Structure formats: C-alpha cells, structure tokens
C-alpha cells in the first residue's frame, strides 16, 4: 500500500515534470518574445490602411493593429513591436527562419501554405477576394473582356495563380507583367506598362485611394477568388499560435459583446455578463492559461480597440480606403466575423 502511494507520488511528480518540460518547449516563442522585450512582426511594406509608416515613420494600419494587439496582450504595451516590412516573395522564409515571430500581412490562408509551407494560420482578420482595376478609358466593363490584356501581377502571391486559373477557365490569353512590390505595381500601372492591375480587392481600393485622380480608374465587378487573409505563425508552437489566435478572437468578441476602448475600463469594474467578465479578466483565469496576465484582453481592447473600431479607424467607409464591412461584418450582422466563446 505504502509502496503504491510512493509510486503514485513519484508518477505524479514525473507527470508534473514532463508536463512542465512540454510546456516550456511548446511556448518557446512566447518566452523568446518576452525575453527580447518586443514582438517581431512581419508586415506589408506599404499598403495604405493596412500597413504603412506615416510621415513620422510610425507604422499604422489594420494589420499593424494586430501586431500592436499581440504586444498589448503580452506586455501591456502596444508599442513593443519591431516591424519588418516583407515583400510577398520573402514573407514565408522570414517567418520560418525566425526573423519574425508572426506575420500580419494580407496573407491568404491556403492548403499548401498551411500544410506544405508549414504555416499555422491563426484566424481570418479580413475576408477578401481578387479583383481587377483598369484605367476608365480602356473602355472595358467586365473581366471577361480582358482577352489579350497586359496584367501587372506580383510574384509569390495567390494572385498570380488565380489569374492563370481565371484566364484558362475563360479560354482567354493575357500577358503578365511581373512586379516585385505593391509600389512597383502601382507605378507600372500608372505609367501604362500594363492595362490591368490585379490583386486582393482591399489592396485595389487602398491603391486607387492613393492615386492623384482615383476617378480615372475603375475596379471591375468580378471577384475571381476567395482570399481569407489572416495572421500566421510557424507550425510546431501551438501555445504561441494560441496567443495570436485568441488576441484576434478577443477583438472580435469585444465587438460582439459591445466592449469598446472607451467603455472597457467601466466594464472591468464587473458586469452582469459573465463572458464579458471573463474576457476582461475580472472572472476566471483565462489569461494565465495563455501564459499572459489576466488583463491581457482588457489591454488589447483599451490600447488598440475592438475589431470594429480598428476596421473603421483604418479602412472603414469614413477613411480614404473606404471599405464597407461586407463579409467582414459580425456574423450577427450577416457577415463572417465570428469568435469561439470565451469560457
Ligand atoms: N493575398 C495574396 C496577395 C498578397 C500580397 O502580397 N499582395 C501584394 C500586392 S497588393 C502586396 O501586398 N505587396 C506588397 C509589397 O510586396 O510591397 C497572397 O497572400 O498571396
């Protein structure tokens, strides 16, 4: 009897030790980020509204806000981010090599990126689709009339693959004009080096808004693909994936629950809604389960805002980018934005 109690105690001790080791190994990115004192976030080099440095060199945008939110969750400080601007072609290598801890960079969640490139997508922060922009005087009103067009297309993107599929499906030819960056694509397009610029519709809107005469350009009605854009981390560190995933979920749940940057402090005094209380860390221990302080989501919401707040501030209808919520409305409003529950 005594022996089995002793063995049981040893086994329990062994289990605790094994569990602790597993946790240390698994959460190595979170530990490394904490040690480093800042989050290394890979972003788009410059798509207005999504990620771009302002006149003072401060990174701003809807994707940048995800980096800021993760830093707020970990450090209680959204400024603790080091930004690495990454072109389409180099973004996955930067993530897999450890140059960055996460990507928040208009990246489409696809089978091969998830399974073959071994990226772990931790949610969708913008449901997009690929569109076409042309100069108005090209006189075309549908993508189906683009037979023989020259098309500016960025290498290393889903865009170039969808373009090939679309023209093949519709029995049309085109001439690709490969470009390395968003800026090069815009310059070539504005200089007339290509008839058409194709990319994610959100980036087309951002691009058109930055033109001197936006009304000289039209975005055609066809959306030819699904581009679920979201943050991603490396395979193999699920605890780190959880931190990024639940930071985005906290922003979404906050919008759904009516918690904003303006009222979160008042709500943190305690409400009659237990899910709000758990989200804000005044009930339960959800933060500790993530290896974070219990007010992690409170910090995200007060320092960065809920999903709707950051959408409206950076890319919403009152901004130059001017995007309607559309598919990116909450599921309760007819959209696809949905967070699993906070319990
Ligand atoms: N969502 C697509 C396209 C994303 C993408 O990288 N788009 C280009 C064209 S707008 C871009 O953002 N380029 C920025 C740059 O390289 O400067 C993907 O994941 O492949």
Ligand 1 centroid to Cα of residue 108, in Å, is 9
Indicate the top mutation candidate among 93, 131, 154 to test ligand 1's pocket, ranked by most ligand atoms within 8 A of CB: 154
Local structure of 29: helix, strand or coil: helix
pLDDT at 27: 55
Strands (E), 44-80: 52-53, 59-60
Which pLDDT value is given to residue 270? 86
Is the distance from CB of 337 to CB of 251 less than 8 angstroms?
A: no
Distance 257 CA to ligand 1 centre (A): 33
Domain 10-127+228-236 has CATH 3.40.190.10: yes
Residue-level pLDDT at 23: 39
CA distances from 291 to 28, 100, 305 (A): 11, 20, 22
Same fold, 10-127+228-236 and 130-225: yes
Tell me which residue has its CA closest to atom 20 in ligand 1.
157
The Cα–Cα gap between 78 and 243 comes to 15
Nearest atom (ligand 1) to Cα of 185: 9
Nearest ligand 1 atom to alpha carbon 180: 16
Q: In angstroms, rounded to a whole number, what is the distance separating the alpha carbons of residues 217 and 204? A: 10
**Which is nearest to 131 in space by CA: 146, 144, 143?**
143
Each residue's pLDDT, cut to its tens digit, for the chain (343 residues) gives 333 333 333 333 333 333 333 334 445 999 999 999 999 999 999 999 999 999 999 999 999 999 999 999 999 999 999 999 999 999 999 999 999 999 999 999 999 999 999 999 999 999 999 999 999 999 999 999 999 999 999 999 999 999 999 999 999 999 999 999 989 999 999 999 999 999 999 999 999 999 999 999 999 999 999 999 999 999 999 999 999 999 999 999 999 999 999 999 999 998 999 999 999 999 999 999 999 999 999 999 999 999 999 999 999 999 999 999 999 999 999 999 999 999 9
The best mutation among 85, 182, 225 to test binding of ligand 1, ranked by most ligand atoms within 8 Å of the C-beta, falls on: 182
Q: How far, in Å, CA of 276 to CA of 264, rounded? A: 9
- Give the position, in ligand 1's atom list, of the atom nearest the Cα of 45: 17
If one residue of 157, 229, 230 were mutated to test the ligand 1 pocket, choosing by the most ligand atoms within 8 A of its CB, it would be: 157
Binding pocket residue ranges, ligand 1, CB within 6 Å: 44-45, 47, 87-88, 106-108, 154, 157-159, 181-182, 199-200, 203, 227, 229
> Is the domain defined by 130-225 classed in CATH 3.30.2230.10?
no
What's the pTM value of the predicted model, to 2 decimals?
0.91
Boundaries of every domain in the chain? 10-127+228-236, 130-225, 247-333
For ligand 1, the distance from its centroid to the CA atom of residue 154, given in whole angstroms, is 7
Q: Whose CA is nearest to atom 11 of ligand 1?
A: 182
Pairing status of strand 39-43 against strand 81-85: parallel
């Amino acid at each position: 009897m005594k022996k089995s109690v002793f063995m049981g105690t040893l086994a329990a001790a062994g289990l605790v030790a094994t569990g602790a080791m597993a946790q240390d190994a698994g959460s190595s990115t979170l530990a490394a980020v904490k040690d480093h004192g800042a989050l290394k976030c890979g972003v788009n080099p410059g798509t207005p509204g999504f990620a771009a440095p302002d006149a003072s060199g401060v990174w701003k945008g809807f994707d940048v806000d995800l980096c800021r939110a993760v830093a707020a969750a970990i450090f209680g400080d959204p400024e603790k981010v080091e930004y690495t601007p990454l072109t389409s072609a180099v973004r996955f290598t930067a993530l897999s090599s450890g140059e960055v801890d996460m990507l928040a960079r208009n990246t489409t969640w696809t089978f091969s990126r998830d399974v073959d490139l071994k990226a772990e997508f931790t949610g969708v922060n913008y449901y997009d689709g690929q569109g076409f922009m042309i100069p108005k005087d090209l006189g075309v009103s549908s993508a189906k009339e683009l037979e023989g067009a020259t098309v500016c297309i960025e290498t290393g993107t889903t865009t170039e693959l969808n373009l090939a599929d679309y023209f093949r499906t519709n029995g049309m030819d085109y001439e690709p004009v490969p470009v390395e960056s968003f800026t090069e694509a815009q310059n070539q397009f504005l200089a007339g080096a290509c008839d058409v610029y194709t990319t994610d519709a959100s980036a087309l809107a951002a691009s058109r808004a930055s033109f001197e005469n936006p009304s000289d350009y039209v975005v055609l009605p066809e959306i030819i693909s699904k581009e679920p854009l979201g943050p991603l981390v490396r395979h193999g560190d699920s605890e780190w994936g959880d931190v990024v995933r639940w930071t985005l979920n906290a922003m979404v749940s906050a919008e759904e629950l009516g918690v904003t940057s303006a009222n979160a402090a008042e709500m943190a005094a305690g409400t009659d809604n237990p899910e709000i209380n758990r989200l804000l860390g005044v009930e339960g221990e959800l933060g500790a389960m993530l290896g974070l302080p219990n007010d992690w989501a409170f910090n995200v919401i007060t320092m960065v805002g809920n999903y709707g707040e950051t959408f409206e501030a950076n890319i919403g209808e009152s901004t130059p980018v001017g995007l309607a919520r559309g598919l990116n409305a909450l599921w309760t409003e007819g959209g696809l934005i949905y967070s699993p529950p906070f319990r």
